[in-house]
Structure formats: C-alpha cells, structure tokens
Structure 1
C-alpha cells in the first residue's frame, strides 16, 4: 500500500509537470514565433512589442481557457462513467454537449443573444435538460437503467440535437456566421472576460467533485454496498449530477462542444491510479488540461500556411478560412479510434 500511494503521488507530480510544460508551450508555439526572452519579459515591458501583445492578449487567455475546459471535461467524464458504470459515458457521447450547444444556438437565433455571459446560462439549461432526458430514456423498458440503454439514449439524443442545431443554422445565415466556428469546438479568439464569468461555477464544481472522490469510490462497489456502509446515495448522485452540468455546460459556453475529452481521459487516469476516485479525479483534471493544451497546439500547426497539408488542401480546391484547425477537430481525430476500441472491448466483455 505505501508503494502504491508513492507511485500515485509520483504520477500526479509528473502529470503536473506535463501540464506546466504544455502551458508554456501554448504560450510560445504558433504561427508567430516567440523567443524565450520575449516570453520572460512579457509582463515587464513598458512598451510591449507585437509578440508580447500576442502573448498577453491572445495566448495567455487561450492557454488558461484550454486548461480550465480540459480539466472540467475530464472530471465530468470520470463522474459520468462512475455513476452509470458505463465505460463509454462522457458529456459528448451522452448528448450533454449537444444539448448545451442546441440551447446556445437557439439563444443566438431566436433571442438574438451573442454574449458569452448569456451563453453560459443557456448552456447550463441545455446540459441539464439533455442529461435528464438521457437518464429518463435509459430507464424505460424491462430491466430499468442499464449501461447499454444509456449509451443508445445518449447517441440518439446527440443525433437529434445535432440535427436540430443544423436545421436552425441552415435557416438562419446570420446565426451560422456567428457560431459556426464555435460549434466545431474552439478556444481561438476567446478572451479572459469569457473565463472570468464562468470560473466561479468551475471552481465550485471542481471543489465539490474532488470532495466526492471517496463517496464515488464507494458507490462504484454497488448501490446496496454503499447504502450498507451508511452512504446517502441519492445525495451523492444529485451533487455529482449538478457538478457534471456545471462542468460540461460551462465548457460548452466557453469553447463550444469539444467532444471525447471526457471519454479518453478517465480511462487513462484509471490505468495509472487504479479504481480509487480520490486519485482518479485529480489525475483527470491534470491530464484533461494537458490533453486539451496539446491538442490546441497541434491545431495551430496542422494547416499552418506553408505546411504540406495546407498546400495539399488548397491545391485540391479546398477553402481554408482559418490558419488553424479548431481544437474540437483534433480531439475528435484522436478520440474516435479510442471510442471504437473501448466500444469493442465493452461488447466483447
């Protein structure tokens, strides 16, 4: 046991180092080259250079948003997989991201709302509604709530909400122009004002989620076992559900529906930390933040002007409207093969 605790502690420390290095890389790497001296002097310069202004106004907010959103999605996925005992559970797969995105598009199209402050409340409402519908649909039929029915309900609602979202966008060109890049899942162009409004919800959800670690571990042993040990399982599930809504809804409000982070990260965390959610949840926070930072850095280089992929696409007549790929596309490219692997493993078991 002491060896296991030491191993987990060392792993957590290494994850923190990886997060710090990824954060620094997010500040330094991109289309505009930033040297080390410029980066070190970024807050001390009385007359900032162009490069320093880019770091101050663009890259620091972007890195902070990626860190917060990645940590939140990783923790939300871990909670969902624990509560449903479903290895495929995540905000993206279970329709929570799609529901939040639909409500944001409705807010933009019908109510002419374009501020991220207002988006936050609509995203929370959409996340809560979609999560409740998935749970309700998964409970119907013989046998009650099962992991398979939850997955099918989530996939169906995701398709339904996505279709409604696309229908609204097709019929409202103005809304499409406003939210199309956001819908792909992107942290580009965001500022600190966006994060400052949502960060209180994130902090509350992070604290509550980490404090639930022991209770969630007990709950994964079985509800009867948890009740036998004196746990009030209804309260634990209710608080966890609220945390999921705050984490996923806030993430969608800031960065759009970034998928599959909440699916990938909990599996990686469990492979390191075992089955104890007192360790899994902190790992999910650090690894989720690191993963999204690295995905964002990768998106800056994939179609950077002069890169082979850019030349190939433009030579084939493709229309490129940005110097980078939205981070949601990168997470999907990585996450879809991971999803297929987990699904095949779950079916075979």
Structure 2
C-alpha cells in the first residue's frame, strides 16, 4: 500500500525584534584627513602629520602643500568642563541640571558625557532607550567630526542634545575622538557642557585647556583634601593657560542635620580659593535618580544655586 510521505513545509521565521536604537554609520560623522595623491593617477596615498606640536599629539594629517594646522584651544571658549577629585559627588547630575538651566534661558547647548569609567549619562536622564548616537557609534581616528551631522543624530533631553558614553556596552572612545566631538560641537552650539568626571583617560585633551572648568568639591574633610590635591597637581586648573576654575561645593548626602559638613569659610581657608556656589542635597531629586525615574525638577534652593552658577558661567564664557 502506497503511503504518501508528507512534504515538510517551510516555517516562516519570526521577524527579528527591532533594536532599541538604530545603528549609525561612523562614516556619517567622519571627515578623512588630507592626503598627498588621491590614488587615481597611480600614486600611493600617504598621510603627513601636522608639524605643529598640537597636530603631532592628535595624529592629525594634512596635505604637504596645503597644511591645515589645528589651532590650539580653537572654539574652546564656549566649552564648560565639570570634574571632581573622586566619583559619586554629583558631577553628572550638576552638568545635566546646568545644561537644562541654560537651555531654559534660550542658550543653545549640548551635553557631552566624557566619564570613561562610569558613563551612563543617558541612563541617568532616562533616555537610554531613545534613538540616537552614542560615543560607540563615532569613529574619528585621524580626521574631524562633522558637528552638524552629529548634532542631528543625538537624543534630546529637555531640549538638550546628549552625547553619552556607555562603557559597559561598547569600547570606550579614544581621547582624540572625544576631543574631535567636543571641538565640532563647540562650532555648532553656543555652549558645550562636558561631564569630565575625574579626568581619567582624558590627559590628552590639550585643546580643552582653554575651556572654562567647574570643579565640584564635596564639603567634607576628606572631600576637601582630595579637591586640594587635584587643584594642586593638575596644570589644567592653575589659571596660567586658562581661566581660574569655578568651585562648586556640594553638601554630602546622608548626613543628619548637616553634621560632618564643612563650613564654607573653613573650606575656603583650607583650599586658598573662593567657593563660588554651594549646593545642598536635594532628597527628592536624589531618590528619583536612585529609583531610575530620571532627573526631575530641583527644589527651590537648588534651582536658585543653579541660576547663580548659570550667571557665573555666562559671564565668563565667551559668547557666540
């Protein structure tokens, strides 16, 4: 008896889930450096380093007959870099709130996450699932970044474009890629707010010496000691090659009735510098951040401190 053998039918594969954010081609932002010969006439393409010290440090290439040296500190007057001696004192939060305060005043700014160890500024702000480019999508080994193209691809938080760094997802960018992004964004926005954390991995950012620096100081005995060591050891903050830094004192979290908090006068006497702004802990804001609810509106005292900091920054940063 003939038995018909069933012919297996093709089972359609389920559609692949779309990624949380679309991939962006690195070439979208990359402008290749100049070369001697274009290869079309049989001559090999070769790159020549910029003869200036800044160009040699960055590995910038240029044409031998039309060298285009990078200008040190070019367009860095509109850059504001925030850092601290140690992590966990609120540099990222302060950078984001400052950028939002400036944006609410009509100042077009962009927020850059240069914290190569911690990162996650998009997670802090609650926009980690938004489409857009992160540092892992950008590659500028020898050239420069197209700032306008990059700006169009960034996710936006409260009117502020954000270029974040997610070191647990992709490999960290090189310092020259960070510098290229900061320089290009400074040419397209009035202010670039950079979360530089503790400056780890950012020693090569020589272009940023001319930027305005905000040093966050924890108002405790240990915090002041660490801040003094940072101010003493880092040539970035000595005021010789750039403007003196703005010092922002941050009150420690978890204290009872401000016990353990150093007085402003004592802090200034110890550091030998003036504390420009003091910000006290905002319990509700900190709780929302810890719960992953994003960065909410600050309380009245914090908002007033941010307004004073914005006034200080706008009065000392070069205006476009």
| TM-score range for the pair, normalised by the shorter chain length | under 0.3
Q: Which has the higher helix share?
A: 1
TM-score, normalised relative to structure 2: 0.24
Q: Which has the higher strand share?
A: 2
More relative contact order, 1 or 2 (CA 8 Å, 6+ apart): 1
TM-score, normalised relative to structure 1: 0.23
